[in-house]
């Protein structure tokens, strides 16, 4: 199990480096805030802690706080990225 | 409902990972970026749905947290001004780090309450046979998450100018930071050795989180405003690492894949920013660049030639090609809309207009691009230094708006300059260069700029927005 996790981890890191090699600078901000939204994936751990009820009320409360923080990251991150990208325009005035 | 190794759950996490990868790939190109962001959002939804299908999940607390968090995120993202985008992105990022830290804390508490055997069962099938591994993952997540959170909050405070944007330095700072790192590691080791048994282990875990939070503050305060693009992208990378580490605690491949993608892409962006300043990451993080007004070794020769709005108008009126070089000053003055208006008037007047953007202009990667996009400048007109520098001698007028260090020819000419070797936009080689500036104060790096003393440079003093508006009025009265 652990070997497999590390296997996935190393491959994903390499994939990340390959994906983001040549980004035009006008996309630096959207790329950053878009990937920032993805880091809100920690919501998965937060949902488990808040919803499973294992470990008592403290875990539930910590989990719920984590859900709040992660949702701010996810919702805020995706919406703000979308808002920015909606402003990028072509010469003919069409939104992209 | 379903156990964590149910094929449907696994498939949904795989789907989420694939959608994140496709989305990130599409964010690389302007034409597909918006759809890419949407696809990555669908991936997030898939991961959330998969988690909610797990057996034993009850929803009252989740709903409460999700509603509160979504509302805050939505309101913040719609109300934020484009000029305040760097601090908002930084703050969102910090919340990701906070979430990871809280997840680590919750898992630690759960483990302590249930004992290892029972905790192992909650992790589901394929759980590690070693509690050492989970303990290491938990403290690592807590540290990185805490540093991301408090570091991002400090970056936010600096960018929003609630605290000074200048580097905050004091004697023995590095020594203190080193001591905090050592103390953090010692507390982490104490947790790992004891595993979650007894009060001492809990105290140690609390110490890990507290020291992580302190470390985030002390490592960001010595970094100046002009270096913020590097810090923001580095913290972005950290939040990914924290999420991936949380994946190692709860044994979730979806977290590991998404977290590592963000960690890697954040590092690449950090590297691009460092290269654009010709400095190493270590130099950015530890040097306190721009803390002191460095007395330039070679006194700058020549005299400053101020120009009136009217004279600047005559220069621009005759120009056939014009390049705007915006910097942080344009963001501060909120001048992007009048700049675009002036650009359109110049085009109507028959000039070819470009906007040349240095990668580290502003306070986050791509800051100037976002502002000009807000002002509806078509992105075909936004060019990079590599496109402009080779043909800069054919440019009639370069207009520098609130940029300083990124157009400082000392980077090319003065080996003793702190900026030496930084790739700049060679506006001093344009036929005429008009610099819009409040006063003769040096830029954030505190370095004297010989550009202002060049024979072909004209200084248009005053607020950037007011000056550009006056130029626009001159063109309109024509």
pLDDT band at A96 (very low <50, low <70, confident <90, very high): very low
User: Directed axis angle between helix B228-250 and helix B253-276, to 10°?
Assistant: 160
Q: What is the pLDDT of residue B446?
A: 60
Whether residues B125 and B271 fall in one domain:
yes
What mean pLDDT is reported for chain A?
Answer: 87
Residue B298 lies in a domain: no
In total, chain B counts a number of residues equal to 478
Residue A47 lies in a domain: yes
What mean pLDDT is reported for chain B?
Answer: 88
Higher pLDDT, B83 or A8: A8
Whether residues B66 and B91 fall in one domain:
no
Q: What is the pLDDT of residue B74?
A: 96
**For residues B426 and B402, is the Cβ–Cβ distance under 8 A?**
no
Contact list, A38 vs chain B (CB under 8 Å)? 20, 23-24, 40, 43-44, 240, 258, 261-262
Whole-angstrom distance between the N-terminal and C-terminal Cα of chain B? 74
**Alpha-carbon gap, residue B279 to B406, rounded angstroms:** 13
Phi, psi of B137 (to 5 degrees): -60, -40
**Alpha-carbon gap, residue B300 to B304, rounded angstroms:** 11
Residue A12 lies in a domain: no
Residue B291: pLDDT over 60: no
Q: What is the pLDDT of residue A45?
A: 94
**Alpha-carbon gap, residue B171 to B222, rounded angstroms:** 12
pLDDT band at A95 (very low <50, low <70, confident <90, very high): very low
Locate A65 and state its tokens. 């706080």
Whether residues B51 and B174 fall in one domain:
no
Kindly provide the ipTM of the predicted complex, given to two decimals.
0.93
Phi, psi of B310 (to 5 degrees): -65, -45
Query: In which domain, by residue range, is B456 found?
Result: 309-477
Q: What is the pLDDT of residue B293?
A: 43
How distant is the Cα of A15 from the closest Cα of chain B, in angstroms?
Answer: 7
pLDDT digits (tens, 9 = 90+) for B426-473: 999 999 999 998 877 665 556 678 888 888 999 998 888 999 999 999
Q: What is the pLDDT of residue B177?
A: 87
Q: What is the pLDDT of residue A19?
A: 85
Q: Does B170 touch chain A (CB under 8 A)?
A: no
**For residues A70 and A46, is the Cβ–Cβ distance under 8 A?**
yes
CA distances for B157 relative to B86, B165, B331, angstroms: 11, 8, 17
Residue B275 lies in a domain: yes
Could you say which of B286, B317, B345 is where a domain stops? B286
Residue B185 lies in a domain: yes
Residue A89: pLDDT over 80: no
Residue A7 lies in a domain: no
Residue B96: pLDDT over 80: yes
pLDDT band at A94 (very low <50, low <70, confident <90, very high): very low
Whether residues B241 and B314 fall in one domain:
no
Whether residues B358 and B212 fall in one domain:
no
Residues 7-46 of chain A whose Cβ lies under 8 A from any Cβ of chain B: 8-9, 12-17, 19-46
pLDDT band at B361 (very low <50, low <70, confident <90, very high): confident
Residue B287: pLDDT over 50: yes
- At residue B324, the 3 state secondary structure works out as strand
Whether residues B74 and B208 fall in one domain:
no
**Alpha-carbon gap, residue B246 to A3, rounded angstroms:** 16
Residue B303 lies in a domain: no
pLDDT digits (tens, 9 = 90+) for B241-262: 999 999 999 988 899 999 999 9
Specify the number of domains making up chain B. 3
Whether residues B328 and B427 fall in one domain:
yes
Task: Tell me B381's DSSP state.
Answer: G
Closest-CA residue of chain A to B18: A12
pLDDT band at B297 (very low <50, low <70, confident <90, very high): very low
Q: What is the pLDDT of residue B439?
A: 74
pLDDT digits (tens, 9 = 90+) for B114-154: 888 888 888 876 677 788 889 999 999 999 999 999 999 99
Residue A21 lies in a domain: no
Three-state SS for B222-270 is: CCCHHHHHHHHHHHHHHHHHHHHHHHHHHCCHHHHHHHHHHHHHHHHHH
Whether residues B279 and B369 fall in one domain:
no
Q: What is the pLDDT of residue A91?
A: 55
Size of interface A-B (CB pairs under 8 A): 414
B366 to A55: CB separation less than 8 angstroms, yes or no: no
Whether residues B102 and B248 fall in one domain:
yes
Q: What is the pLDDT of residue B445?
A: 57
Residue B13 lies in a domain: yes
Q: What is the pLDDT of residue B53?
A: 92
pLDDT band at B299 (very low <50, low <70, confident <90, very high): low
pLDDT band at A82 (very low <50, low <70, confident <90, very high): very high
B31 to A96: CB separation less than 8 angstroms, yes or no: yes
Residue B340: pLDDT over 50: yes
Residue A10 lies in a domain: no
pLDDT band at B295 (very low <50, low <70, confident <90, very high): very low
Locate B266 and state its tokens. 């954040």
Whether residues B249 and B116 fall in one domain:
yes
Could you say which of B52, B79, B106 is where a domain stops? B79
Specify the number of domains making up chain A. 1
Could you say which of B79, B111, B132 is where a domain stops? B79
Residue A13 lies in a domain: no
Query: In which domain, by residue range, is A76 found?
Result: 29-90
Whether residues B60 and B150 fall in one domain:
no
**Alpha-carbon gap, residue B326 to B369, rounded angstroms:** 10
Place of tokens 């999420």: B243
pLDDT digits (tens, 9 = 90+) for B45-67: 999 999 999 888 889 999 999 99
Top mean pLDDT of A78-92, B34-48, B192-206 is at B34-48
Residue A59 lies in a domain: yes
- At residue B459, the 3 state secondary structure works out as strand
Residue B293 lies in a domain: no
| B405 among known catalytic residues | yes
Contact list, A3 vs chain B (CB under 8 Å)? none
Q: What is the pLDDT of residue B443?
A: 58
B92 to A26: CB separation less than 8 angstroms, yes or no: no
Residue A16 lies in a domain: no
Q: What is the pLDDT of residue B277?
A: 82
How distant is the Cα of B195 from the closest Cα of chain A, in angstroms?
Answer: 16
Whether residues B410 and B375 fall in one domain:
yes
Q: What number is the average pLDDT over the span A49-60?
A: 89
Q: What is the pLDDT of residue B278?
A: 81
């Amino acid at each position: 199990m652990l070997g497999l996790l590390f296997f996935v981890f190393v491959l994903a890191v390499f994939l990340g480096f390959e994906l983001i090699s040549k980004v035009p600078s006008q996309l630096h901000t959207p790329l950053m805030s878009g990937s920032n939204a993805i880091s809100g994936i920690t919501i998965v751990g937060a949902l488990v802690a808040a919803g499973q009820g294992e470990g008592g009320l403290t875990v539930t409360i910590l989990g719920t706080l984590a859900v709040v923080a992660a949702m701010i990251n996810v919702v805020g991150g995706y919406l703000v990225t979308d808002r920015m990208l909606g402003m990028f325009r072509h010469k003919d005035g069409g939104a992209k | 409902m379903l156990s964590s190794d149910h094929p449907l759950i696994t498939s949904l996490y795989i789907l989420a990972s694939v959608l994140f990868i496709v989305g990130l790939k599409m964010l690389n190109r302007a034409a597909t970026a918006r759809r890419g962001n949407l696809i990555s959002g669908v991936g997030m939804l898939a991961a959330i749905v998969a988690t909610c299908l797990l057996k034993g999940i009850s929803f009252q607390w989740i709903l409460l947290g999700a509603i509160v968090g979504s509302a805050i995120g939505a309101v913040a993202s719609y109300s934020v001004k484009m000029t305040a985008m760097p601090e908002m992105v930084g703050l969102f990022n910090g919340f990701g780090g906070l979430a990871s830290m809280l997840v680590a804390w919750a898992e630690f508490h759960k483990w302590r309450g249930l004992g290892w055997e029972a905790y192992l069962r909650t992790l589901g099938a394929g759980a590690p046979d070693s509690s050492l591994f989970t303990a290491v993952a938990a403290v690592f997540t807590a540290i990185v998450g805490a540093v991301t959170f408090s570091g991002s909050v400090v970056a936010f405070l600096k960018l929003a100018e609630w605290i000074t944007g200048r580097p905050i330095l004091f004697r023995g700072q590095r020594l203190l930071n080193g001591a905090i790192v050592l103390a953090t590691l010692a507390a982490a080791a104490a947790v790992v050795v004891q595993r979650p048994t007894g009060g001492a282990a809990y105290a140690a875990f609390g110490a890990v989180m507290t020291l992580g939070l302190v470390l985030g503050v002390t490592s960001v305060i010595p970094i100046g405003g002009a270096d913020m693009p590097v810090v923001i992208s580095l913290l972005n990378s950290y939040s990914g690492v924290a999420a991936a580490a949380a994946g190692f605690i709860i044994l979730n491949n979806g977290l590991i894949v998404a977290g590592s993608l963000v960690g890697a892409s954040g590092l690449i962006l950090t590297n691009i920013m460092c290269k654009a300043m010709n400095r190493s990451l270590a130099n950015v993080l530890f040097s306190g660049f721009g803390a002191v007004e460095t007395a330039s070794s070679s006194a700058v020769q020549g005299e400053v030639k101020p120009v009136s709005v009217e004279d600047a108008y005559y220069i621009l009126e005759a120009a056939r090609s014009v390049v705007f070089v915006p910097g942080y000053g344009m963001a501060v003055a909120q001048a992007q809309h009048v700049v675009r208006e002036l650009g359109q008037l110049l085009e109507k007047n028959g000039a070819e207009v470009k906007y040349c953007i240095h990668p580290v202009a502003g306070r986050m990667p791509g800051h100037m691009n976002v502002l000009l996009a807000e002002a509806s400048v078509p992105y075909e007109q936004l060019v990079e230094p590599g496109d402009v520098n080779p043909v800069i001698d054919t440019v009639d007028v370069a207009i520098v708006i609130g940029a300083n260090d990124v157009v400082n020819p000392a980077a090319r000419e003065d080996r003793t300059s702190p900026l030496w070797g930084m790739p700049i936009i060679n506006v001093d080689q344009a036929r005429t260069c008009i610099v819009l500036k409040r006063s003769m104060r040096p830029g954030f790096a505190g370095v004297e700029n010989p550009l202002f003393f060049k024979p072909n440079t004209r200084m248009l003093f005053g607020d950037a927005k007011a000056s550009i508006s006056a130029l626009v009025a001159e063109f309109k009265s024509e």
